[in-house]
Amino acid sequence: MGFRTPNFNLNIDLWRKPSVPGTDPPDASFMGNLSVGRRTQNVWLPLDSTSVLKRFVVKQISELMVPALTDVQPSDHTAVGPSDAVEVPSGSGRFYIVLTVEDVAKGFSNEYRLLGLIQSDFVTNGLIPGVTVPTFPSPIP
């Protein structure tokens, strides 16, 4: 049984290094659909990068569905690799780091791209080197 292509109902802004999210103009804009999704994914992130006894937090990964072939790069967790940041929806102050990019239904008419995102407040203290994004607003607008 097939499935329908997601409804891309939100405006998304994207920044690439060395652009600074929220300060520099976006490098790209496109439509997408943000969701916690049907798939459950968690990631363990260190709370700091300097302590001998590492402390970790478990954070759920959000999913952003975008049209097929949308140019988005995943993070490779190094200072030299791509680390795209997105604001969803545009102008909301809700910034995310792109962790993963997967093509869904590749080769079929309902193909789309699925991005694994993490809220920016867990990566602003150097956990992903070279990535600087504003903290997640509280309360969420």
> Which is more confident, 77 or 105?
105
Residue 123 has pLDDT above 50, yes or no: no
**Residue 33 — pLDDT band, cuts 50, 70, 90?**
very high
What's the pLDDT score for residue 65? 94
Q: Which helix (H) or strand (E) holds 42?
A: strand 42-46
Q: 26-30, 101-105, 121-125 — which is least confidently predicted?
A: 121-125
Q: 32-41, 75-84, 103-112 — which is least confidently predicted?
A: 75-84
| 119: helix, strand or coil | strand
- C-alpha 12/C-alpha 121 separation (Å) is 19
Measured between alpha carbons, how far is residue 76 from residues 90, 119, 127, 130 in Å? 25, 17, 12, 11
Q: Domain boundaries in the chain?
A: 10-34+62-122
Residue 25 has pLDDT above 60, yes or no: yes
Is residue 108 within 8 A of residue 63, CB to CB? The reply is: no
- Tell me what percent of the residues of the chain surpass a pLDDT of 90: 28
> Which is more confident, 19 or 25?
25
Burial class (CB in 10 A: 0-12, 13-18, 19+), 123: buried
What's the pLDDT score for residue 124? 46
